[in-house]
Chain A
Amino acid sequence: MNHDFTCTELVQSCLDIISKHDKVLGAFITVTGEQALSEARIVDEKIKRGEQIGILEGIPYSVKDVILTEGVKTTAGSNMLKDFVAPYDATVIKRMKQAGAIMIGKTNCDAYGHGASNEYSDFFPSRNPWDTKLVPGGSSGGSAVSVSADMAIFSLGGDTGGSIRQPASLSGVTALRVSYGRISRYGGIAYASSFDTIGPITKSAEDAAIVIEALAGQDENDHTTRPEIVPEYSKLLDKKETLTIGIPKEFFPSTLDADVKAKVLESIEILKKLGHTVKEISLPYSTDVALATYNILTRAETSSNLERLDGVRYGHRSKDANTLEELYMNSRAEGFGAENKLRIMLGSYVLSAGYYDAYYKKGQKVRTIIRNDFDRVFKEVDVIVCPTSPTTAFSLGQKTGDPVQMDLSDVFTVSFSLAGIPAISVPCALSKGLPVGMQIAGRYFEEERVLRLAHQYQQASDYHKQKPPL
């Protein structure tokens, strides 16, 4: 330990940046400053006494507001839960507490993860620190902003179809979507149960490795977590190995922004120089078809997951209700935003009698085909590299009138979600002054390899070190 600064100083500096910039950036819904400082003081005392502290101990982090934090308001970015105080800690929060990390606040997000720009937060939009007229991406937009602007050293975000990777790409930070079942979902407000993951947004792949080491592992509260042991990810980053990298041709269509395309291809050259082999592969169902499939399945699951928000036991309850039906209809009409309602209606429709087979059941079958397609390519390649997002950050208000356009921001991220495989986004360039993200995906439960390649890349480049002009 270098004792360059105290924990209290570190936390205070984060809080100072928040007070200086968050009115504009809108990263936080709740700042837990007092609590953070008192925890920091305890850590400093420990250090003074010469006690050993853990690697994450005293490190300030932010939490996407869909993750429950006991005793602290947890809103999911939604009016429905605007005054909801979480009655228990999510498993990931328990593990962060065990590691001694210090929570600095709850970050803004598209309500329930329904969005790709953070404009569908019911409270206020978040803004990109690189250009505040632009979106930071979503739905973990607030989390990405908090790390990008140094308001937190790392953040816990959520990724369903790209919600951790895409904002990282647009805001110039690193984010890892873990394999489905690697990290517990218990205590995360569900968007789409068979797609949701919780993961780290950080300044580097190395930091991401450190964080998931503390978070990963089976949880008795979540049947979808797996018993595989948790490797010491952070200690395995320098292992020498040569990889075959697959470049899926469908992910570099002619419609892709020319500069983004060029920058990502340049980054792939760097990977080649590191000694890896690059080969073209084909994943014909993993862009448009994947997006359509993803939309159907996630809307279905979310329409069911949000049924519990009915005004009966917690959350918003309408004052204008005289019958049970009015209680339900009015509470939900008042509590949910337009995008939430859209997804709930679509989801209910695809599950309804007479349509289930044509949409949901068929969607499940296509999901299997897409999974099998990944199995096929992973026989020839070890990792897949492609752009994270088809564009750099777009303007606030640019896509909010067009759901299809908004959904298209996820076209390169959803297929990995359908397959449940790990994928990381790392800053790989600036295009016209805005961050570009490169995505590295690997086999199921091979985040070790994904992190290693990302770490290697970050040792041969320094885009991840660049800071927005705040």
Chain B
Amino acid sequence: MKEDLETIIGLEVHVQLKTQSGMFCRCSVGIDDAPPNTHICAVCLGQVGALPLINKKAVELCTSMGLALECEISKHSKWDRKNYFYPDLPKGYQISQYDLPLCAKGKLEITRPDGTKFTVRIHRIHLEEDAAKTMHKGDKTLVDFNRSGTPLAELVTEPDLRSVEDARLFLQELQLIVRSIGASHADMEKGHLRCDASISLRPMGETKLYPRTEIKNLNSFRNVERALAYEVKKQSSLWQEGKPNSGDITVLWDDAKQSTRLMRDKESAADYRYFPEPDIPEVELAEEYVTSIKLSLPELPSAKRKRYARDYSIKREDIESYVTDLNLANFFESVAEKLGNIPEKVKLASNYITSDLAGHLAAGQLSGEDMKLPSHEHFAKLINMISTGELSSRGGKDVLLIMHKSGGDPEVIARENNLIQKHDEGELIKIVEQVIKDNEKVVADYKAGKQASLQYLVGQGMKASKGNANPTVLSKLLITAMASEAPEI
């Protein structure tokens, strides 16, 4: 008998904060590909006699994260030591926050592609320092302490997620948020964002939580999805057999085998002997401090989506492109303003930005601040020219490509490349007369009622004008010209 099972997922996410120096030392951090052990000091190497120094920027960035996720910010700041032995932990303890995290009790509402919404409660976000990086080479283990001491924000959700897809959507939105507030690069592949997922199932309708499986070693959104999907399948069969897991377990995701395997019990049952960090005095954060951070938060993705939907009648997919790319969004807004916010022109502009322009930028493999965008005045001018018919859609694309490569005024470019559509009626009338003269049979077919012949004639007119004629105008003139001729009896 098939039981209807519900999936319960909670996530623990470590976000590497974008600071110049370490959480507790002045070493430079976040320099990918630096030669090993070149950004180290007495503090992050765990030398005897060294003492920790608080990185104020890290506190600011974590507070921003908390505020962006509607958390309560703890005014009383307290640090704790988490004691355990491992070669990547130079002091033999990690300075973290145990019972008084900086942020708590927040939430994030997410809209699915189909328009439905779900909310994930944020249990807590706290600050801690990262461990060093270990690498295994044959039978040796090497340790690179460059990463040691990097500021991390650890975010823990309540087990509110109900599907694998929702988990991925949550992670993507979280990534978007921390990027938009400048808290982190949040590149999962580079380890800026790490995720452990906990999952359990339960019969639909029940409210209690059953033992969970914690999955570690997930280094991409895809792996998070695959691992969770794997566990859903595995645990479903256990439930069908009437033998669900009897206790909490921790597993590792094996990417090669595309499956999970049990971690040794020792790693999941440690006594960290937490106690308050005596080297860092407890401090009170002023109300003004939190307020000033709140006021300086940039527009969050959810707010931007609402604003764009309200102010611009563009596609939902376009809005998403802008929400994910601040530079593209700012460009779009400047162009829209230059176009007087006229809806059809704005829509047209957005089409070109999100398909053609974005395509060129992607091909050039530039993004973010590296993007070489044309000036918004020139771009707006281009859109105007397409809108009035001065440039055909094809012509517009060609001009844009040139603008992207070497900049320039679209009017000048169009003229130099003979792309300006002729809709000077005088010139076109000559072409129309010539086309009618040269295509008697087709004209007769049209007059007999064959509409398709008109297209042929328009085509001939385009050819005669070397593609510069405005087809709409041509068509209009042809119809008028043919109608003014007396029909043959």
List the interface of chain A (C-beta within 8 A of B).
Answer: 67-68, 74, 76, 81, 84, 86-88, 90, 185-190, 192-194, 220-224, 300-301, 303-304, 306-310, 312-314, 324, 328, 348, 351-353, 356, 360
Interface residues of B in 102-149 (CB under 8 A from A): 143
Instruction: Please report the C-alpha to C-alpha distance between residue A193 and residue B276 in the assembled complex, in whole angstroms.
Output: 11
Distance of B93 from chain A, by nearest CB (Å): 6
Q: A residues within 8 A CB of B49?
A: 67-68, 86, 88, 90, 186-190
Interface residues of B in 273-318 (CB under 8 A from A): 273-275, 278-281
B275 touches A307 (CB 8 A): no
Q: B residues within 8 A CB of A353?
A: 271, 273
Listed stretches B81-89, B220-228, B253-261, B480-488; interface member: B81-89
A307 touches B85 (CB 8 A): yes
**What are some 11 contacts across the A-B interface (CB < 8 A)?**
A81-B48, A87-B47, A186-B49, A222-B51, A223-B52, A224-B51, A306-B92, A307-B91, A308-B92, A312-B90, A328-B85
B45, CB-defined interface residue at 8 Å: yes
Distance of B62 from chain A, by nearest CB (Å): 18
Q: A residues within 8 A CB of B281?
A: 223-224
Distance of A120 from chain B, by nearest CB (Å): 18
Contact of B81 among A187, A190, A304 (CB under 8 A): A304
- Which of A74, A185, A186 has most chain B Cβ within 10 Å? A186
B53, CB-defined interface residue at 8 Å: yes
**Number of B residues, CB within 8 Å of A:** 28
A68 touches B48 (CB 8 A): yes
Q: A residues within 8 A CB of B47?
A: 87-88, 308, 314
Instruction: Please report the C-alpha to C-alpha distance between residue A222 and residue B459 in the assembled complex, in whole angstroms.
Output: 82
Q: B residues within 8 A CB of A187?
A: 49-50
A310 touches B92 (CB 8 A): yes
Distance of B332 from chain A, by nearest CB (Å): 46
Instruction: Please report the C-alpha to C-alpha distance between residue A300 and residue B275 in the assembled complex, in whole angstroms.
Output: 9
List the interface of chain B (C-beta within 8 A of A).
Answer: 42, 45-54, 81, 83, 85, 87, 90-93, 143, 271, 273-275, 278-281
Distance of B283 from chain A, by nearest CB (Å): 9
Q: B residues within 8 A CB of A67?
A: 49
Contact of B51 among A186, A194, A301 (CB under 8 A): A186
Distance of B284 from chain A, by nearest CB (Å): 15
Q: A residues within 8 A CB of B273?
A: 303-304, 348, 351-353, 356
Distance of B24 from chain A, by nearest CB (Å): 10
Ordered nearest first, which 3 A-B pairs have the shortest CB separation?
Answer: A307-B92, A351-B273, A193-B278
Instruction: Please report the C-alpha to C-alpha distance between residue A67 and residue B273 in the assembled complex, in whole angstroms.
Output: 28
Contact of B90 among A90, A188, A308, A352 (CB under 8 A): A308
Q: List 15 additional A-B contacts (Cβ < 8 Å) besides A223-B281, A304-B81, A309-B48.
A: A88-B47, A193-B278, A222-B51, A223-B53, A223-B54, A223-B279, A301-B278, A303-B273, A304-B92, A306-B92, A308-B47, A313-B46, A353-B271, A356-B275, A360-B275
Q: Given A186-B49, A221-B53, is A304 in contact with B271 using a C-beta cutoff of 8 Å?
A: no
A223 touches B280 (CB 8 A): yes
Distance of A456 from chain B, by nearest CB (Å): 34
Q: Given A194-B278, A348-B273, is A189 in contact with B93 using a C-beta cutoff of 8 Å?
A: no
Q: B residues within 8 A CB of A310?
A: 85, 92
Distance of A418 from chain B, by nearest CB (Å): 13
B51 touches A87 (CB 8 A): no
A185 touches B51 (CB 8 A): yes
Distance of A259 from chain B, by nearest CB (Å): 39
Instruction: Please report the C-alpha to C-alpha distance between residue A312 and residue B141 in the assembled complex, in whole angstroms.
Output: 11
Q: B residues within 8 A CB of A351?
A: 83, 273-275
Instruction: Please report the C-alpha to C-alpha distance between residue A435 and residue B91 in the assembled complex, in whole angstroms.
Output: 41
Instruction: Please report the C-alpha to C-alpha distance between residue A348 and residue B87 in the assembled complex, in whole angstroms.
Output: 20
B42 touches A88 (CB 8 A): yes
Q: A residues within 8 A CB of B280?
A: 223
Contact of A87 among B42, B52, B87 (CB under 8 A): B42
Distance of B137 from chain A, by nearest CB (Å): 15
Instruction: Please report the C-alpha to C-alpha distance between residue A191 and residue B197 in the assembled complex, in whole angstroms.
Output: 39
Q: B residues within 8 A CB of A186?
A: 49-51
Distance of A19 from chain B, by nearest CB (Å): 30
Distance of B97 from chain A, by nearest CB (Å): 16
B278 touches A308 (CB 8 A): no
- Which of B48, B54, B279 has most chain A Cβ within 10 Å? B48
Q: B residues within 8 A CB of A76?
A: 48
Instruction: Please report the C-alpha to C-alpha distance between residue A187 and residue B92 in the assembled complex, in whole angstroms.
Output: 18
Tell me the nearest residue of chain A to B270, going by C-beta. Answer: A353
Instruction: Please report the C-alpha to C-alpha distance between residue A220 and residue B25 in the assembled complex, in whole angstroms.
Output: 11
Instruction: Please report the C-alpha to C-alpha distance between residue A402 and residue B46 in the assembled complex, in whole angstroms.
Output: 33
Distance of A261 from chain B, by nearest CB (Å): 35
A224 touches B279 (CB 8 A): yes
Q: A residues within 8 A CB of B87?
A: 312, 324
Instruction: Please report the C-alpha to C-alpha distance between residue A237 and residue B123 in the assembled complex, in whole angstroms.
Output: 57
B90 touches A313 (CB 8 A): yes
B53 touches A220 (CB 8 A): yes
Tell me the nearest residue of chain A to B273, going by C-beta. Answer: A351
Q: B residues within 8 A CB of A81?
A: 48
B42 touches A193 (CB 8 A): no
Q: A residues within 8 A CB of B278?
A: 192-194, 224, 301
Q: A residues within 8 A CB of B48?
A: 68, 74, 76, 81, 84, 189-190, 308-309
Tell me the nearest residue of chain A to B88, going by C-beta. Answer: A312
Instruction: Please report the C-alpha to C-alpha distance between residue A348 and residue B46 in the assembled complex, in whole angstroms.
Output: 19
Instruction: Please report the C-alpha to C-alpha distance between residue A166 and residue B93 in the assembled complex, in whole angstroms.
Output: 32
Instruction: Please report the C-alpha to C-alpha distance between residue A384 and residue B32 in the assembled complex, in whole angstroms.
Output: 58
Q: B residues within 8 A CB of A188?
A: 49
Tell me the nearest residue of chain B to A193, going by C-beta. Answer: B278
Q: B residues within 8 A CB of A87?
A: 42, 47
Contact of A221 among B45, B51, B83, B274 (CB under 8 A): B51
Instruction: Please report the C-alpha to C-alpha distance between residue A343 and residue B54 in the assembled complex, in whole angstroms.
Output: 29
Instruction: Please report the C-alpha to C-alpha distance between residue A360 and residue B271 in the assembled complex, in whole angstroms.
Output: 15
Instruction: Please report the C-alpha to C-alpha distance between residue A346 and residue B389 in the assembled complex, in whole angstroms.
Output: 86
B93 touches A307 (CB 8 A): yes
Instruction: Please report the C-alpha to C-alpha distance between residue A416 and residue B413 in the assembled complex, in whole angstroms.
Output: 84
Instruction: Please report the C-alpha to C-alpha distance between residue A78 and residue B428 in the assembled complex, in whole angstroms.
Output: 100
Q: B residues within 8 A CB of A189?
A: 48-49
Q: B residues within 8 A CB of A223?
A: 51-54, 279-281
Q: A residues within 8 A CB of B83?
A: 304, 307, 351
